[in-house]
Amino acid sequence: MHLLMAITVGMMYATGLYMMLRRSIVKLLIGLVLLSHGSNLLIFTAAGLSEGNPPLIRPGEDGMVGPHTDPLPGALILTAIVISFAILAFACVLVKRGYEEVGTDDQNAMNTTDQ
């Protein structure tokens, strides 16, 4: 399972970087989304995958018994999702405004702010 997750994270990073190197700003945004999802999946995979062992302390016990999944990476991923959504929303508005001003989403055509 870890090998499959590692391959998936690698493919998401590679695809995200490839998309970010394109000339279209829309493709840059798609690459940014793929990189953020790949990072979230990397944190999730690095936390360790264990099925059926939630990080809960049962009544009458002092601590967790057996292997369990660490809850901290899940909290980090939720925070990263919120931050990446905010950045993506801002970038979409910025791209829309730039397209209205220049008339294209090509980065080479957007080399100046003068009309």
pLDDT in tens, 33-49: 999 999 999 998 888 77
Given a cut of 60, whether residue 19 has pLDDT beyond it is yes
Residue ranges of domains in the chain: 2-50+69-102
Helix 72-102 / helix 25-46 crossing angle, nearest 10 deg: 180
Say which residue the tokens 């994270």 belong to.
9
pTM confidence score? 0.78
55/66 Cα distance (integer angstroms): 10
Given a cut of 70, whether residue 112 has pLDDT beyond it is no
Right CATH number for 2-50+69-102 from 1.10.3470, 1.10.287, 2.60.40, 2.160.20?
Answer: 1.10.287
In terms of average pLDDT, the best of 11-20, 23-32, 52-61, 69-78 is 11-20
Going by the DSSP 8-state scheme, the letter that residue 24 receives in this structure is B
CA distances 94 to 4, 9, 22, 87, 97, Å, are: 36, 28, 18, 10, 5
